[in-house]
Homo-oligomer: A and B are copies of this chain.
Amino acid sequence: MTVSAPFVPGLHLLIDFWECRMPDNPTEIEVALREAAVACGATVLTVELHHFGESGGITGVALLAESHISIHTWPETGYIALDIFMCGRCDPQLAVPVLQRRFRPGRVKVGAHQRGQD
A residues adjacent to B (C-beta < 8 A): 7, 9, 12, 14, 16, 18, 45-46, 48, 50, 52, 59-61, 63-65, 67-68, 70, 72, 74, 77, 79, 81, 83, 85, 87, 109, 111, 113, 115-118
The complex is assembled from copies of this chain, and their number is 2
Task: Report the nearest B residue to A111, measured CB to CB.
Answer: B113
Contact of A63 among B60, B64, B115 (CB under 8 A): B60
Task: Report the nearest B residue to A78, measured CB to CB.
Answer: B7
Contact of A14 among B12, B18, B50, B61 (CB under 8 A): B12
Contact call B70/A85, Cβ cutoff below 8 A: yes
Contact of A115 among B64, B65, B81, B113 (CB under 8 A): B81
A88 CB, min distance to chain B CBs, angstroms:
11
Give the CA-CA distance A8 to B63 in the complex, in Å. Answer: 26
Q: Which residues of B lie under 8 Å from residue A65 when comparing CB positions?
A: 52, 59
